[in-house]
Structure 1
Amino acid sequence: MKLSKGDRQSRILSELGRSPSLRVADLAARLTVSTETIRRDLDELTEQGLLNRTYGGAVRPLSTEPSVTERHSLLVSERERIGRAALPLIHAGHTIMIGSGSTTTHVARRIAIEAKNITVITHSFGVATVLALNPTIKVLMLPGDYLASEGATVGVHTVSFLNGFYADFAILGASGLSPDGPSEALVECGAVYSAMTMRAAQTIVVADNSKFDRIFPARYASWRQVNHLVTDVAPEGVLLSSIQQNSINLVVG
């Protein structure tokens, strides 16, 4: 039986409650409607603040960002492309700082596969775990208070320890990308990212399209402090203008 628009949108939100990300084609097949109908539903639900549109689907609102473990199941193919696209940027690096997050973990996985004889400084246990697969990579784990939802250390000890090091590159994720710069939902992680930005010769932000035009409490850098943005879809509008005005190297994977 054909569902009404209200029932259909309720089903979409119910599906999103069980899975943190959804694809337009999958929803259309499940609800036996056209992909155009699903896109209209997703647009309406986005306007109501009930979900966020992505390229080809939807995710839960980033203002209620799930734990890093749950985020690992979101936009996997997009983040894998970002990981592959980011790797050539750091080919000349010997010391790299990597922030916490699901996208940075994908980048770390590519580093573990392809890089040799480098040192990585990180506060993320997920990043450290995937890098451990490569015995030629030295991993320096930052001290601090353990933040279970992010699987990372944070706090004054983390930032203080970072201030004793320099790196060729800092690779950082973001909860949101706005014309003012990248921002982070967790203020504690934002402080660590800011310190990494200050201690690295170049900063690389890695973030998928669901972060575009989103703002979160901790803006950890301005765009003039960022050298490279690696993403899966080119941004548009004011966000793109800000990136171009600051001469950032935009890489689309």
Structure 2
Amino acid sequence: MRRSKASRQEQILAELNRSPSLRVAELARRLAVSTETIRRDLDAMTEQGLLNRTYGGAVRPLGTEPSVTERHALHVPERERIAKVAVPLLKTARILMIGSGATTVHVARRIAVEMKNIAVITHSFGVATVLSLNPTIKVLMMPGDYHPGEGATVGVHAVSFLNDFHADCAIIGASGLAPDGPSEALLECGAVYSAMVARAARCMVVADHSKHDRVFAARYTPWRNVATLVTDRPPEGALRDALDQNAVSVALA
């Protein structure tokens, strides 16, 4: 069955999440297309900053992620399932903090449908937009410097704003999940997430399996500060051991 260009490129990114480097010939075999088609895809994705071309293949840029707009097209079924599992775990919460990201927007969309008469503090314009569908939800938008690639406010004003609030739960995504904790590719967002964890009674991390065993620059909290991880596949190896040792509840979607 012939794949569309968008479908091929989504699969290429998914393969890069599983392997640090890819070869043109192997990709062509897996996707059942010509090597020339794969080369054109890799060239186009390099121009978009999604990967780096190498001789005969491609690698993901170290410590980087696609923009939040591009991430919205990836792992959509997994993120929808994660949101479906996450929201019932929030039923007793009245004040939430929600970080930026594609998965947290899915969670916010589900919150807008299933919850009411709550307050949400966020720095994500995507989160605020989907929550606006429910007039009973009060949204407090954090100030700060606008980060266009993430669609969120960041910086010292965003972090200091959180110091005046407490929340029942902070709901945060992650670029990577490693044995020492969840991490974020953007240092500025990592600082906001750390502040959210510090100002919330508990923390829920929502992240699909492509984030397992990946490490990025900003570890925003150790696992001992995380109450729940909602993900779509069971963590394995050292990551699973770290979650068990820190009594992190894993909810599978």
State the TM bucket, normalised to the shorter chain: 0.7 to 0.9
The structure-2 alpha-carbon separation of the partners of 1:121 and 1:133, relative to structure 1 and needing over 3 Å to count, comes to same
The structure-2 alpha-carbon separation of the partners of 1:196 and 1:15, relative to structure 1 and needing over 3 Å to count, comes to same
Residues 1:97 and 2:90 aligned together? no
For residue 24 of structure 2, what is the aligned residue in structure 1?
A: none
For residue 246 of structure 2, what is the aligned residue in structure 1?
A: 246
Residues 1:88 and 2:88 aligned together? yes
Following superposition of structure 1 onto structure 2, how do residues 218-229 of structure 1 map, counting pairs within 5 Å?
218-229=218-229
Kindly state the Cα deviation for residue 15 of structure 1 after the two structures are TM-superposed: 3.9
Residues 1:209 and 2:209 aligned together? yes
The structure-2 alpha-carbon separation of the partners of 1:164 and 1:18, relative to structure 1 and needing over 3 Å to count, comes to same
The structure-2 alpha-carbon separation of the partners of 1:226 and 1:31, relative to structure 1 and needing over 3 Å to count, comes to same
| Separation of aligned partners in 2, 1:213 and 1:61 | 17
For residue 39 of structure 2, what is the aligned residue in structure 1?
A: none
The structure-2 alpha-carbon separation of the partners of 1:91 and 1:186, relative to structure 1 and needing over 3 Å to count, comes to same
3-state secondary structure, aligned to 1:167: coil
For residue 132 of structure 1, what is the aligned residue in structure 2?
A: 132
3-state secondary structure, aligned to 1:201: coil
**What stretches of structure 1 move > 6 A for 4+ residues in a row?**
none
Kindly state the Cα deviation for residue 157 of structure 1 after the two structures are TM-superposed: 0.4
Segments of structure 2 that go 5 or more residues without pairing to the other structure are: 16-27, 34-55
| Separation of aligned partners in 2, 1:196 and 1:228 | 15
Kindly state the Cα deviation for residue 29 of structure 1 after the two structures are TM-superposed: 8.4
Question: Residues 79-123 of structure 1: CA distance to partner in whole angstroms, max 9, x if unpaired?
Answer: 000000101111000000000000000000100111010000000
Query: CA-atom RMSD, angstroms?
Result: 2.6
| Separation of aligned partners in 1, 2:136 and 2:185 | 33
Q: Contact conserved, 2:79 with 2:208, CA < 8 A, in 1?
A: yes
Residues 1:157 and 2:150 aligned together? no
| TM-score, with structure 2 as normaliser | 0.79
Give the letter aligned to residue 192 of structure 1: V
Kindly state the Cα deviation for residue 50 of structure 1 after the two structures are TM-superposed: 4.2
| Separation of aligned partners in 1, 2:105 and 2:90 | 15
Give the letter aligned to residue 249 of structure 2: N
| TM-score, with structure 1 as normaliser | 0.79
| Separation of aligned partners in 2, 1:249 and 1:117 | 27
The structure-2 alpha-carbon separation of the partners of 1:241 and 1:21, relative to structure 1 and needing over 3 Å to count, comes to closer
For residue 109 of structure 2, what is the aligned residue in structure 1?
A: 109
| Separation of aligned partners in 2, 1:197 and 1:206 | 14
For residue 9 of structure 2, what is the aligned residue in structure 1?
A: 16
Question: Residues 195-250 of structure 1: CA distance to partner in whole angstroms, max 9, x if unpaired?
Answer: 00000001000001111111111000000000000000011000000000100110
For residue 121 of structure 2, what is the aligned residue in structure 1?
A: 121
Give the letter aligned to residue 114 of structure 1: E
Residues 1:63 and 2:56 aligned together? no
Among all aligned residue pairs of Structure 1 and Structure 2, give the percentage whose two residues are the same amino acid. 63
| Separation of aligned partners in 2, 1:184 and 1:75 | 18
For residue 9 of structure 1, what is the aligned residue in structure 2?
A: none
Q: Contact conserved, 2:122 with 2:128, CA < 8 A, in 1?
A: yes
Kindly state the Cα deviation for residue 63 of structure 1 after the two structures are TM-superposed: 3.2
For residue 75 of structure 1, what is the aligned residue in structure 2?
A: 75
3-state secondary structure, aligned to 2:201: strand
For residue 44 of structure 1, what is the aligned residue in structure 2?
A: none
Kindly state the Cα deviation for residue 165 of structure 1 after the two structures are TM-superposed: 0.1
